[in-house]
Structure 1
Amino acid sequence: MGKPVDLIEVWRGDLLECMHQGHAVVCDEAGQITHAWGDPETVIYSRSSCKMIQALPLVESGAADAYGLTEKQLALSCASHNGSAIHVDAVNAWMKDIGLGESDFRCGPQVPGDVDVRDALIRADEKPCRIHNNCSGKHSGFLTLTQHLKAGPDYTHIDHPVQIACKAAFEETTQETSPTYGIDGCSAPNFAGTVHGLARSMAFYASAHTRSDTRSKAAARLASAMMAYPEMVAGETRACTNLMRAMNGKVAVKTGAEGVFIAIIPEKRIGVALKITDGATRASEAAIAAILVKLGVLDAAHPTAKSLMAPDIRNWDGLVIGRINPVSALI
């Protein structure tokens, strides 16, 4: 990994207690870097931040239209959701429509992030299932594409037609050959690439509405769906949902594990990718908010921007004992 730079400070009183470092890139529609922090050529796993790339074959293959998928379902195919009722019900309905069920998923069971759903399962003495997995929307897309291709059931295998298509979409939109892959938390392959490549792919999505080829139209539909249904992409209280609402549905954002975050900005035809090297979510959320403010698409005075970019640190008694803020280079 290339040399990272300081991005997010954590203060306790008058002492700088912690510094989160990382890499970030802003790309224009030509794939050229307009802003960069750290090393743009650092190779990372994009983790769940690339779900709109993994959903691209679902749309461009014709599978989405063949099965009559709605815009809300396309947003769900790009989601890392809370496992709230709106997510679980939508996945169950989707599976019923295509004649499949929970046992067809290859993602593992996961305790839902939604506290009410989690507590209801506990009270009912029920265990969470694969539908509760935060990636079940993405896997619903995988299963739909699998049906459309008439492929075998093991759609997470690296040599399965679904994953071959996902790899092609990743490499062609990042304009890089992926050097390796890892297995994500949901058992699907996650392909490695540079921070620059990920930003280049997001710029492809951001400018897709200006083109009429099949892939661009598919990318534009996915970005539009995310912006139209931010609650399906993550859920209440989540940074992705709150940021998209704060920007009035004009920007798509998506987090990934281990400190990754992306943004798709159609009005400016630019894409953003960042990676916090220590994997801290508090830092990736602060950094993406700061970059969005810097790019003029997020109001620094908006409550969501303030809560993510420069939150107070409070102790258990509610006292403000510190603060988190971006370094001056991000502002």
Structure 2
Amino acid sequence: MEAHKKEGIVAHMDMLLNKSITSNEQHESMITEMKVTLDKVILENARIPQLIEENEKLQKEAKANKTSIQEMMKVLASSGERVIQTGRKLEDKASVETVDKLKHEVAVMRDAVQESNKKMTQIERSGVAAGCGNPKVIQQVEKQVGLLDIRVSELDLRLQLQETINHDGVLMWKLQGYSKRKRDAISGKTLSLYSQPFYTSRYGYKLCGRIYLNGDGSGKGTHLSFFIVVMRGDFDALLPWPFQLPVTLKLLDQNGTGQHIAEHFMPSTSSNSFKRPTTEMNVACGVPTFASHAKLETQTYLKDDTMFLRVEVDCTNAQILC
């Protein structure tokens, strides 16, 4: 032990020195970390007045947004009632003048919905920034705006249909984008197309046209097939059945020479296609080999990828006001 004490004194002193150095280094590291933390605290304390000011501003915005939401809900309620009233007017078989007025009302309502959407976006952004928005209230108003927007769009579509519907037994059908539509028919994506409905009179039969651009039945792959469809109408209970009015289907000449492709037929009284509809529409009836593709796809009948089809229902010798 005495020998060890004498011989190991240098090693022992080195161990003490290393321990001291390590402790000093740890102490300096702690001091550096404390300085960094202190700097952050000082910086955050300096921002406190600014944060208080921003918080007050956001609280004011939130209060204004609350008022704005209440106003918007009143506007939406009013617009919703106007949509219902406009829909009722439309159901009354509106005249041309009334349709124009209704279109203006729908445009005004659409503008109101769009403005509400903009306000909701602003409110949602400011609410998120403030961290004090009411998600349930915002979602509720957004839902109301969305539903009203859908109802306005549906009403707008119904107005467009009302504007284009004919009540004198004639359908004029402008079909654009023939090339793409035919490719869709060949691929099976869209086999047939329906026209807008038309009527034989204000309170008469409801009909529409139906075509197969790539043909149907005996005309499949070679012809345009053209049919007429008897649809369920509002006044079917007052009309004689089966439907027995002469029908003419036409593909119109666009060169002005009058070389229309036309087919005339008298509805068969035994065909289910012309009995009173029990569903939205009966089975279509017409001409599967109405116009060959070779004849149709010429400058006479197809220009600018557009063709014109026409259906005429003859009410001349009808026993009723068809």
TM bucket normalised to smaller:
under 0.3
Q: Which has the higher contact order (CA 8 A, sep 6+)?
A: 1
Larger radius of gyration: 2
TM-score of the two chains, using structure 2 as the length reference:
0.21
TM-score of the two chains, using structure 1 as the length reference:
0.20
